[in-house]
Amino acid sequence: MIRPSFSIIGTGFILERHIKAIRASGGVIADVVNNFNGQNNAWINMIMKTQASHVVILTPNIMHFDMALMARRFDKTVLCEKPLAVTSEQVKMLSELDKVYTVLQLRHHSLVEEIKKIKGKVKIGMDISVYRDDEYFASWKGSKILSGGILFNLGIHYFDLLLHIFGSAKKAKLKYCDEKVATGTIEGENYICEWKLSTMQPKEHQHRVFTIGKKEFNFSSKDNLSQEDLHIQVYKDLVQGKGVTPADVLPVTELIEKMYFSKK
């Protein structure tokens, strides 16, 4: 049996998680390139020349769309770290292509099936409070232009999970937003969610909690969500031709755009 092969663009901290997941899913790594340090065209040359069947995109968010488009032009299956793109128009364009997937690994979390059992109209408290140091904000992740800001960079995991479990949003309001903290509300047919994102939590007290009724569901208290090893399931799906598609993430992309617009 031919093992799936992967070319990776981007060498940041998340690379280690992807390498582990590729190996766990039976894949092999053909190439790894950086896009900085004098290698600005390395990813273009790699896509054009690699024999790998898959291209994995781990770069600043603003670059995801162009890289995914080019990889598909060369008939590569694409896996892109979240967000797939930072505008709904870009996501719509990618929706016209096959073999494009994005990483929203919380869909594989064991708590998802437990939460799905909750019936009726619910009130949800979403408290995503993590620690991010000065180095984080000095990087591209601290730039709204490069990352899409805190709603795309951090919030998309949890907004996507909300829609995935409870259904589409009917109303959304961004109450407060800066580069480190954001709050707001999201309402659906059977739920209302009061949410908070914070990157200012003490390191030893991080949490990613949905409170529904009197029950708390904590998705992780680790430094980074990738440490839950859910990327492995993402790759196991990918090699079977399954995953989170552009059509799947269009609703959450539109929701984030709507919330940013509501603050203007």
Tell me what pLDDT residue 181 has: 98
**Domain span including residue 125:** 109-224+254-262
Q: Is there a single domain that holds both residue 215 and residue 235?
A: no
**Does pLDDT of 227 surpass 80?**
yes
Instruction: Give residue-wise pLDDT tens across range 127-168.
Output: 999 999 999 999 999 999 999 999 999 999 999 999 999 999
Q: How confident is the model at residue 41 (pLDDT cuts 50, 70, 90)?
A: confident
This prediction's pTM:
0.95
Q: Is there a single domain that holds both residue 26 and residue 53?
A: yes
Q: Is there a single domain that holds both residue 258 and residue 135?
A: yes
Q: Is there a single domain that holds both residue 80 and residue 177?
A: no
> What CATH number does the domain containing 54 carry?
3.40.50.720
- How many angstroms separate the CA atoms of 218 and 72, rounded? 37
Q: Is there a single domain that holds both residue 43 and residue 147?
A: no
Q: Is there a single domain that holds both residue 86 and residue 124?
A: no
Count: domains in the chain: 2
**Does pLDDT of 67 surpass 70?**
yes
Q: Is there a single domain that holds both residue 240 and residue 214?
A: no
Q: Is there a single domain that holds both residue 49 and residue 170?
A: no
